Amino acid sequence: MQGEAALAPAGGLTKARQKPQTAKGTLFVTLEDETGNVQIIVWPQVYEDHRSTILGARPLAVEGVWQRGDGDDVRHLLARGFSNLNPLLGRLQKESRHYSGKS
């Protein structure tokens, strides 16, 4: 029995937003965290529904469904929803730590 795919979370810093003219209104967002990059596909209606969050958030949380290309190790997250994580920035440590590099 095939059902609806389970939603999966992803999050990170917004590294790039691209909306190629050839993509028929689809937006591509690259998020980066300490493990690497994740590519987010945002269909036009999802973009319209979440436009202010997508454009206004530097750290961004996404909920979506993973898609893998045929015979391909590349995976993309098909976005369903977004959360703005900007308010969390104020909770980060304000002082930087300096290390001497000595063991």
Inside any domain, residue 1 = no
Decide if 2 is inside a domain. Answer: no
pLDDT of amino acid 97: 65
pTM over 0.85: no
Of 71, 17, 13, 3, give the one whose Cα is nearest residue 47.
17
Task: Write out residues in the chain with pLDDT < 50, as ranges.
Answer: 1
Q: Is residue 96 part of a domain?
A: no
CA distances from 33 to 6, 12, 53, 60, 93 (A): 22, 5, 18, 11, 18
**How much is the pLDDT for 102?**
64
Overall domain count for the chain: 1
Q: What is the pLDDT of residue 1?
A: 40
